[in-house]
Structure 1
Amino acid sequence: MARSTPLHRAQDLWVHLAGVPTSFPADGVRVVVAADSRLCPPGWAGVVVLGDAGLATAPDAATARFLRDSLAGRPARAAVGAQRWHGVPGIRDVLGPATLAYLDEPEFRPATGRST
């Protein structure tokens, strides 16, 4: 059953893209093994943080363990900091972070012909 708030709908979308049964935790980052995750390119680990909670997918158990150890005791936002993974041993490349905006229909305002 789809949830109604924009945050919950966005979480449901990312859970679906993870490709395995999971959910966002109340806070922190949940790490799951999902070799076919669509959160990231094949063979990569992907991390999505919405609010105070995050979801991370790893292509295999060893990478999932690495992520869990790296994120233990840290707030979810720490997982997607601009420089969080740069220079960390075992990390070959980083894409992101990216910032997305989710709007509910009443919040969306189509562009008018005027420039502000």
Structure 2
Amino acid sequence: MSIDAPAARARALWQELAAAPDAAFGTPPRPGVFVSPDSSLAPPPWVGVVTIGDTALITAPTDRAAAVRTALDGLSTTRLTDPGTVTALLPVSDTLGPATLAYLTPDALRPPEPTGTPTECLPPGDAALRALSEEAGEEDAGESGLEEITSPVFVVRDGGTWVLAAAGYPHWPRDTAHLCVLTAPDARGRGLARQAASETTAHALAAGLLPQWRARPAASRRLASALGYRELGAQLSVRLV
């Protein structure tokens, strides 16, 4: 499968999440800007910017779309997801991101070398997963999205009851598997997250889903790249004054 195939599927996904009639990625260097109070590109009522390749899609609350379009028209996708650039052009009180958006083709998955510890499956919401979230802390657990998982959760234990790493995905629209990964602080750097994420990615591919990896931390981006994910875009959310 060519890399254009996941890019096209990714655009279709985010166009649906934009929740605006006729929402579409714009033609460079003009992003598509749409009024959508129900958009999932950003927390309501923020402005959401998503880029895939050299195209961009932006949603804004009803009364701010015109100003956003005027301020951001003509920018490259790199600058559209740069907080410094956007805050210099719009009255912004807060930003979220940017986060990279990476996708994986079925022939690109690179499973890790065995760690010697088997991978197990748990149902979403298992008590052992809640314990892992508590150990990781509110910020890391929230970043991971572990509580949103609807798939089987692939975990690596310490040989007992404690889960050291976990991965799974919620099933997003357009047959997309949004990867969620979390590792206990003391277990990082041992390849356990890669092991759990590899099993999760393989599960998604077997179901015909498009694996999506959204990441802000550099370590998460490196992990995705090691598995074969390719960064195709980015996401930025901004709250206007």
- TM-score normalised by structure 1 residue count: 0.84
SS of aligned partner of 2:98: coil
Equivalent position amino acid for 1:24 in 2? F
The answer as to 2:52 corresponding to 1:55 is: no
RMSD of aligned residue pairs (Cα, Å): 2.1
Equivalent position amino acid for 1:113 in 2? P
Match of 2:105 in 1: 104
Match of 1:10 in 2: 10
Which one has the bigger strand percentage?
2
Match of 2:41 in 1: 39
**For residues 89 and 25 of structure 1, what CA distance do their matches in structure 2 show?**
20
Structure 1: 5+ residue stretches without partners: none
Q: If you compute each CA radius of gyration, which structure gives the higher value, 1 or 2?
A: 2
Structure 2: 5+ residue stretches without partners: 116-190, 192-241
Q: How many residues align?
A: 112
Match of 2:86 in 1: 85
Counterpart contact for 1:85–1:94, Cα < 8 Å:
no
- Check 1:88–1:75 CA distance in 2 against 1; reply closer, same or farther (3 A cut): closer
Aligned-pair CA distance for 1:90: 1.9
Equivalent position amino acid for 1:90 in 2? P
Equivalent position amino acid for 1:36 in 2? D
The answer as to 2:66 corresponding to 1:65 is: yes
Equivalent position amino acid for 1:6 in 2? P
1:35-90: CA deviations, max 9, x gaps?
Answer: 10011101111000111100000111x31111111112222322111422235552
- Check 1:23–1:100 CA distance in 2 against 1; reply closer, same or farther (3 A cut): same
Counterpart contact for 2:6–2:105, Cα < 8 Å:
yes
Counterpart contact for 1:35–1:58, Cα < 8 Å:
yes
Equivalent position amino acid for 1:80 in 2? T
Aligned-pair CA distance for 1:109: 2.1
**For residues 112 and 16 of structure 1, what CA distance do their matches in structure 2 show?**
37
33-42 or 14-23: bigger deviation: 14-23
Which one has the bigger helix percentage?
2
Percentage identity across aligned positions? Answer: 38
Equivalent position amino acid for 1:102 in 2? Y
**For residues 90 and 9 of structure 2, what CA distance do their matches in structure 1 show?**
35
Aligned-pair CA distance for 1:29: 0.9
